[in-house]
């Protein structure tokens, strides 16, 4: 699964880890680190969105028809709680797999399994 992250240099640089990847579900995590934080030691929303976008892209990629590629065309994030340590677990699942678009929902939770954010993104299917 490390090859999926390695194909996305930003995700690799951010520290995204993928633990499971299939058409129906992609799981991964991002560890808290000071360089990923905003003021007050809170994990930056951009880091959380980077994790969600990376796993969502993998989920969309695994649902593509042969020979197609994908690109994010829309992303909506709702944040629920700050992360001040530990790590964030994320799970991406397809909500819609169509001929021209794939919609993926990614749920993020902290190390205590409390909701951190939900991201819904639309990926274009590029043939």
Tally of domains within the chain: 1
Average pLDDT over residues 48-76: 96
pLDDT in the model for residue 90: 98
Helices (H), the chain: 2-6, 9-14, 45-62
Q: Are 14 and 51 in contact (CB under 8 A)?
A: yes
pLDDT tens, 2-58?
Answer: 788 889 999 999 999 999 999 999 999 999 999 999 999 999 999 999 999 999 999
Q: Are 16 and 33 in contact (CB under 8 A)?
A: no
Rounded to two decimals, what is the model's pTM? 0.95
Is the pLDDT confidence value at 1 over 90?
A: no
pLDDT in the model for residue 4: 86
Place of tokens 């880091």: 47
Q: Quick one: which of 55, 76, 74, 59 has its CA closest to 118?
A: 76
What range defines the domain where residue 13 resides?
2-126
Burial of 114 (0-12, 13-18, 19+ CB in 10 A): exposed
pLDDT in the model for residue 58: 96
pLDDT tens, 81-119?
Answer: 999 999 999 999 999 999 999 999 999 999 999 999 999
- The tokens describing 61, both together, are 């990629």
Residue 18, CA atoms < 13 Å, CB-side half-sphere? 24
Burial of 123 (0-12, 13-18, 19+ CB in 10 A): buried
Q: How far apart are CA 79 and CA 85, in angstroms?
A: 16
CATH of the domain at 100: 3.10.129.10
pLDDT in the model for residue 97: 98
């Amino acid at each position: 699964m490390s090859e999926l992250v390695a194909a996305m240099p930003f995700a690799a640089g951010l520290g995204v880890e993928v633990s499971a990847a299939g058409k129906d579900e992609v799981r991964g995590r991002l560890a808290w680190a000071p360089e990923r934080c905003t003021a007050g030691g809170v994990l930056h929303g951009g880091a959380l969105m980077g994790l969600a976008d990376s796993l969502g892209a993998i989920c969309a990629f695994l649902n593509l028809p042969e020979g197609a590629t994908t690109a994010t065309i829309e992303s909506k994030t709702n944040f629920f709680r700050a992360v001040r340590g530990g790590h964030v677990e994320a799970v991406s699942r397809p909500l819609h797999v169509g001929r021209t678009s794939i919609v993926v929902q990614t749920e993020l939770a902290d190390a205590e399994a409390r909701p951190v954010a939900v991201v819904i993104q639309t990926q274009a299917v590029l043939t």
